[in-house]
Chains A and B, each alone.
Chain A
């Protein structure tokens, strides 16, 4: 039967690229913080540089992240309402406290780490891990509670966000460690050079493992969407075959998922520093595409 929409009002997308960018920045921060604490607590001497790199990157990124949120507000000068009029049911309220507590804790942690106070750094790091995971997990809840949007309202969303945060955080730490390696190449003795190199390659393997977990979750999500409601089928087609195919299938899944996973695990690229660095760059682009697809494709379907 012929069916045409004759008149309907223009459809507006409330959340845009600043929000996707915000999710990306918090993800990078949470991921690099967790890597930093794991390598600090692990206690092995050769892991120390990773701990320091993560400790610097995490609070830096998280000081930038809230600005994207405040810029996105229609009334930026009213942002303090978030701390005064609390709605304890809203995930954004949790966010405003987590976004305050987590960078402060991260800065103190970094301070003690660089001062060499290992015991305090460990304690603060242990406090920081749940904070970091919550800071990124709550962004998943923001989307999951968006009841009308079929791509968002899944219980998988917070887990998916945390896992992709780990992936992108590891990629960022790998990049920073590789830059440090190249910069200090002339001044370091051969043994230290070797251990730094082995460390980056090991991180690459860990990243590969997280990519597998990430792809598994995305696959589950898509399979359920394909067999769920009419809207779910539409959104699955939209990202698999429709307008978002280049971003989702092309960049997020193939270029930012499968390709770096194979690069890290295959001996030819996995044992070369260049291969792992290229894989890390691809992963960072892939996760950025993932944030974009989730936020924008999630709001692409009409609701009326």
Chain B
């Protein structure tokens, strides 16, 4: 212990420094070692391999809504009738909880494509099948906690914070879209 620097009383000794350095290194090492465990719970590569999906629009009649499964999520495709389009376009943005113009949500007004998952807590809103509730605004209604969506899939009433999400898609030709 002859080589140990004398304790000046203000700073620490060499031994204190080594103690702090070793403890910090061990803490950083432990922190780094946690990451593989945490990251193993993130989506695996096969899940991440983004599937794209082509949807044939030609058999969908005006006023008809269909549901397709894309990346294990339901996607609503709605062939909107002119009155529904007008209703969506004529809604004042000030009436909206999550203001977004109908034109920003569609590529062609007659085709509304959205991820069919309520933005509240992830239920599938009703309105895709004949006879289901459409909610107070003629769009969709989530039965779990009572969120109402309008004919553009925008949240109008209830606990959901945002509009139904529009997935990335493109028109391959006039009657086919590709999701993803």
Q: Do chains A and B interact in one complex?
A: no
Interface residue ranges, B against A (CB under 8 Å): none
Interface residue ranges, A against B (CB under 8 Å): none
